[in-house]
């Protein structure tokens, strides 16, 4: 593997102090050096020296990373571990191909394919095939923990958000902002209620909301090492969103938002930079835009889970808490280590189910210890994993997005 000067610089920054061992959630469960950033950094260096080759084992080794960036936040030397892991994954994809998993991600590449996939999944769920599969024990009989994994598949809600709304949604009165909403796959076809709540809250701030044509943010494809495909998807989004002339690009998902903020670096064009600089998480936007005071009480004790990509990636953790704090009747009971990764990590929970389950169990215990009646998090990916982790921990709690609760508290105003 050829190392760019920037990768060499990153490798040189690592003093092998091992502080990452204190932070890595995967290490926390597996307790071995292969899981931690220090090992990944040294392995990239060894790939550069041709001491390691792009074998199946090395590919799996680099796949064993959540890209949660917890190690980076704790690294005294500021090593950008995710760039090194990503470079290695690209090398693996180049040298060994992307595999079935990588190809499957292709369904996310366009709005049309995404819609078709959602319909297919909806068919499986609505026809009762899912219920049958679950009841019949077929899922349990399949090898490789297909059964528990299948529980992760959230119910699809059709029509998709794009089909429910016109391209431009106007607020009552003169608009104060014009924003473009990047829904992400989940709010588009799964948690459409949250997507609706995002739009409602933006309208309450008197923002004109534009819904440009869009597909997946490309994080999953990028993280699988297919940066060229990711760049193509990014370019389509950059064109569609900048054409709206919006002041801000709103996301309701930490992972999507963090990925969109990475477009500038990924595409390395001025337009991409402009696009990325406009990306704002919905909670941060609502907080800054001056959402009116909510008045309908929501009597609920909640705990807040920080999505890795929302907190460490986008730097958003105070705004959602402050917004929630305004809701009358709502009590926030902080859990231990609210910013510890839930183990979802996008495709990680599917490819490394057992590790993800153990990380999730730790999270579920922390949640349970607060006595909260519900969990709130700003990332649909975390939401799926948290719901699953709480279910298998026998402590099923509802998991909300901050805007879901905000929308409840504004119901009578809207």
Partner 1 sequence: MRVAAGAQVLTTPAALTCYGYDSSFIAGRAGAVVLASSARQVRAVAAWSYRRGIPLVPRGAGTGLAGGSVPMAGSVVLSLERMNAIVHVDQAERLATVEAGVVTADLHRRAEAMGLFYPPDPASSDASTLGGNIAAGAGGPRGLKYGVTRGYVHGLDLVLPGGEELTLGGGVAPGLCHLFTGSEGTLGIITRAVLRLIPRPEYRVTMLAVFDVLEDAAHAINDIMATGVVPSTLEIMDQASIRCVESYAPSGLPLDAAALLLIETDGMEKTARREARAVIAACRQRNARQVHTAANPVEAARLWKGRKAIPAAVVRVRPVKISEDATVPRSRVPEFIVRLHEIGHRHRLPLFIWGHAGDGNLHPNLVAHPGDPDELHRAQAAVADLFAAALELGGTLSGEHGVGLAKAPFLPGQAGPPGIDYMRRVRRAFDPRGLMNPGKIIIEG
Determine the size of the site formed for partner 1 (CB under 8 A). Answer: 29
**Distance between CA atoms of residues 86 and 63, nearest Å:** 10
In this complex, which beta carbon is closest to partner 1, that of residue 53 or of residue 132? 53
**33 forms part of the interface with partner 1 (CB under 8 A):** yes
**Distance between CA atoms of residues 87 and 67, nearest Å:** 12
**Distance between CA atoms of residues 14 and 62, nearest Å:** 17
In this complex, which beta carbon is closest to partner 1, that of residue 50 or of residue 174? 50
**395 forms part of the interface with partner 1 (CB under 8 A):** no
**Distance between CA atoms of residues 287 and 323, nearest Å:** 7
Least Å distance, CB 65 to partner 1, is: 12
**58 forms part of the interface with partner 1 (CB under 8 A):** yes
**Distance between CA atoms of residues 72 and 68, nearest Å:** 9
Least Å distance, CB 30 to partner 1, is: 9
**17 forms part of the interface with partner 1 (CB under 8 A):** yes
Q: Segment contacting partner 1 (CB under 8 A): 29-37, 174-182, 196-204, 230-238?
A: 29-37
Among residues 4, 6, 73, 76, which is the contact residue for partner 1, using CB under 8 A?
Answer: 76
**Distance between CA atoms of residues 390 and 33, nearest Å:** 29
Among residues 3, 25, 29, 39, which is the contact residue for partner 1, using CB under 8 A?
Answer: 39
In this complex, which beta carbon is closest to partner 1, that of residue 12 or of residue 129? 12
Q: Segment contacting partner 1 (CB under 8 A): 37-45, 181-189, 275-283, 399-407?
A: 37-45
Phi then psi for residue 219, to 5 deg, are -60, -45
Which DSSP state fits 168?
Answer: E
Phi then psi for residue 182, to 5 deg, are -95, 110
**Distance between CA atoms of residues 279 and 260, nearest Å:** 7
Among residues 4, 6, 15, 239, which is the contact residue for partner 1, using CB under 8 A?
Answer: 15
Q: Are 54 and 95 in contact (CB under 8 A)?
A: yes
Q: Segment contacting partner 1 (CB under 8 A): 19-27, 148-156, 237-245, 256-264?
A: 19-27
- For residue 381, what are the β-bridge partners? none
* Best CA proximity match to 111, nearest among 242, 276, 261, 237: 237
Residues that bind partner 1 (CB under 8 A): 12-13, 15-22, 31-34, 38-39, 42-43, 46, 51-53, 55, 57-58, 61, 76-78
């Amino acid at each position: 593997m050829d190392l760019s000067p920037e990768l060499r610089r990153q490798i040189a920054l690592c003093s092998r102090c091992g502080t990452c061992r204190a932070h890595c959630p995967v290490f926390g469960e597996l307790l071995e050096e292969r899981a931690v950033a220090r090992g990944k950094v040294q392995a990239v260096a060894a790939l550069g020296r041709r001491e390691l080759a792009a074998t199946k084992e090395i590919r799996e080794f680099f796949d064993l990373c959540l890209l949660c960036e917890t190690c980076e936040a704790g690294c005294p030397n500021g090593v950008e571990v995710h760039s090194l892991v990503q470079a290695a994954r690209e090398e693996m994809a180049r040298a060994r191909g992307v595999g079935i998993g990588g190809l499957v991600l292709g369904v996310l590449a366009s709005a049309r394919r995404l819609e078709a996939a959602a319909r297919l999944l909806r068919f499986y769920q609505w026809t009762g095939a899912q219920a049958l599969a679950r009841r019949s024990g077929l899922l349990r009989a399949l090898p490789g923990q297909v059964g528990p994994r299948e529980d992760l598949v959230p119910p699809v809600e059709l029509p998709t958000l794009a089909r429910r709304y016109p391209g431009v949604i106007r607020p009552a009165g003169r608009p104060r902002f014009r924003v473009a909403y990047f829904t992400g796959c989940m709010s588009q076809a799964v948690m459409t209620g949250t997507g609706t709540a995002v739009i409602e809250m933006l309208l309450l701030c008197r923002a004109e909301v534009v819904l440009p044509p869009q597909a997946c943010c490309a994080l999953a494809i990028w993280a699988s090492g297919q940066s060229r495909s990711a760049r193509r998807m990014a370019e389509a989004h950059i064109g569609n969103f900048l054409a709206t002339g919006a002041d801000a690009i709103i996301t309701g998902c930490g992972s999507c938002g963090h990925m969109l903020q990475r477009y500038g670096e990924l595409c390395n064009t001025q337009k991409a930079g402009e696009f990325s600089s406009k990306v704002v998480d919905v909670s941060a936007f609502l907080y800054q835009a001056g959402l009116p005071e909510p008045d309908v009480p929501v009597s609920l004790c909640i705990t807040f889970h920080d999505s890795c990509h929302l907190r460490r990636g986008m730097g958003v953790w105070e705004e959602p808490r402050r917004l929630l704090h305004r809701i009358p009747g709502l009590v926030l009971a902080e859990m231990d280590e609210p910013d510890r990764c839930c183990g979802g990590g996008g495709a990680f929970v599917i490819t490394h189910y057992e590790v993800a389950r153990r990380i999730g169990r730790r999270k579920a215990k922390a949640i349970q210890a607060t006595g909260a009646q519900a969990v709130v998090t700003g990332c649909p990916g975390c939401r799926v994993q948290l719901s699953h982790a709480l279910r298998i921990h026998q402590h099923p709690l509802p998991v909300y997005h901050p805007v879901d609760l905000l929308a409840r508290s504004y119901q009578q105003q809207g």
